[in-house]
Amino acid sequence: MAEVSLHKLNKRFEAFHAVKDVDLHIRDKEFMVLVGPSGCGKTTTLRMIAGLEAVSDGEIRIDDAVVNEVPPMDRDIAMVFQNYALYPHMSVASNMAFGLKMRKFQKADIEQRIKRAAGILGIESLLGRKPRQLSGGQRQRVALGRAIVRDPKVFLFDEPLSNLDAKLRVQMRVELKKLHERLAVTSIYVTHDQVEAMTLGDRVVVMKDGVVQQVGEPLELYNSPANRFVAGFIGSPAMNFADVTLAGGNGRLWAEAPGLRIGVPGPIAARVNGHSGKSAILGIRPEDLRVASPADPAELCFEVEVEVVEQLGSEILLDTRAGNSLFVASVDPMLRTKVHEKLRLAINPDRLHLFDAQTEAAI
Ligand code: ATP
């Protein structure tokens, strides 16, 4: 059982402020993913939890104990790195035993732990090999094994799948998920890949420039992003954004831009009432756009010109333009259309997002 709490956690590298006032509570057995673009401070946050990086300000607690000054060895944490960090001259079994020997575990206990971890990971037949005799996926399993044998309170993962090819990454992602279900150990996982974050995380922390932007369950982030950054980061292909003016007319609110006039649906209009006459950012996901049918209300439709047609088999991604605004639409793969053709798109009114033009916060 282990909870991890970060209170106003800060990291400064001389003048550079890499992690800013991070407050986070990771629950017992939770799989928490830190995600964000390169340089956002996620690895630094993880390394502070591991004890590999000193804390500039703030507090890290594991359960009720403040661990800021506790050496990494004594934090009861096991970390899995992107580059596996296996000792090349040691066999798989010795690599897995190493941390336990350092901690003066009994030989019989070490052997039993290795056997159990190897069984869980399906690497029993590899125990005598050296790392160079293993594939990338096998090496990553050994790195996981080395963490599992420790039976730690908390697992920390630093982009553990990013050295694997795309297919293996998907396979290992599934294995990690099963592993977490089986071991039920509190886990903190760093990645820049939002698909990994969405599929693995019980909850996800989105970071930018050292600051937490939003913490939530994957669908919460997808459905109700707190700001434009989270809206654009979570979801693939990314959400479309258009600079619009909110204007009242005919008893309702419209989002307007050159070549675009969309009726803001009632519940959203009620929420953004104070913003009438102001500029805003309209957000709509590609999957919430479709080719309009005659039954679609006119105020939810707009005309676009097709600029690129990307046939993906299961869907077509249409890159389109309405005036100055660009929209990617995910449409029926049976649609037959060509570049420069004009189409009418309809939006799903329940899934329109608006963001403040200045603060970029959701409104
Ligand atoms: P990536 O996915 O590229 O690893 P990240 O979100 O994990 O990115 P960090 O490694 O946490 O980012 O780095 C955050 C910021 O702190 C970056 O701008 C980085 O250049 C800076 N940084 C990290 N370590 C140091 C250091 N030892 N000295 C100075 N600056 C550092």
Spatial neighbors of 275 by CB under 8 A, at least 6 apart, are 246, 354, 356, 363
Give Cα separations from 51 to 48, 59, 77, 96, 315 (angstroms): 5, 12, 9, 21, 46
Domain with CATH 3.40.50.300 in the chain: 4-233
Give Cα separations from 83 to 62, 171, 208, 239, 250 (angstroms): 26, 18, 24, 32, 61
Q: What atom of ligand 1 comes closest to residue 210's alpha carbon? A: 14
* Whole-prediction pTM: 0.92
Per-residue confidence of the chain (363 residues) as pLDDT tens digits?
799 999 999 999 999 999 999 999 999 999 999 999 999 999 999 999 999 999 999 999 999 899 999 999 899 999 998 877 899 999 999 999 999 998 899 999 999 999 999 998 889 999 999 999 998 889 989 999 999 999 999 999 999 888 888 888 898 899 899 989 989 999 999 999 999 999 999 999 999 999 999 999 999 999 999 999 999 999 999 999 999 999 987 778 999 999 999 999 888 888 887 777 889 999 999 999 999 999 999 999 999 999 999 999 999 999 999 999 999 999 999 999 999 999 999 999 999 999 999 999 998
Q: Kindly list the strands in the beta sheet with 353-356, ordered across the sheet, starting from the edge strand earlier in the chain.
A: 260-263, 252-257, 240-249, 279-284, 353-356
Cα separation, 23 vs 215, in Å, equals 10
- DSSP, collapsed to helix, strand or coil, labels residue 16 as strand
Cα separation, 68 vs 306, in Å, equals 56
Which protein residue's CA is at the shortest distance from atom 3 of ligand 1?
Answer: 38
Return the structure tokens found at 265.
């649906």
CA 41 to centroid of ligand 1, rounded, Å = 6
Cα separation, 190 vs 197, in Å, equals 8
Return the structure tokens found at 350.
């329940």
Domain with CATH 2.40.50.140 in the chain: 240-356
Architecture of domain 240-356: Beta Barrel (2.40)
| Ligand 1 lining (C-beta closer than 6 Å) | 13, 16, 18, 36, 38-44, 192
CA 38 to centroid of ligand 1, rounded, Å = 8
> In the CATH hierarchy, which fold is given to the domain comprising 4-233?
Rossmann fold (3.40.50)
237 preceded by a cis bond (ω within 30 of 0): yes
Q: What atom of ligand 1 comes closest to residue 16's alpha carbon? A: 30
DSSP track, 193-225? -HHHHHHH-SEEEEEETTEEEEEE-HHHHHHS-
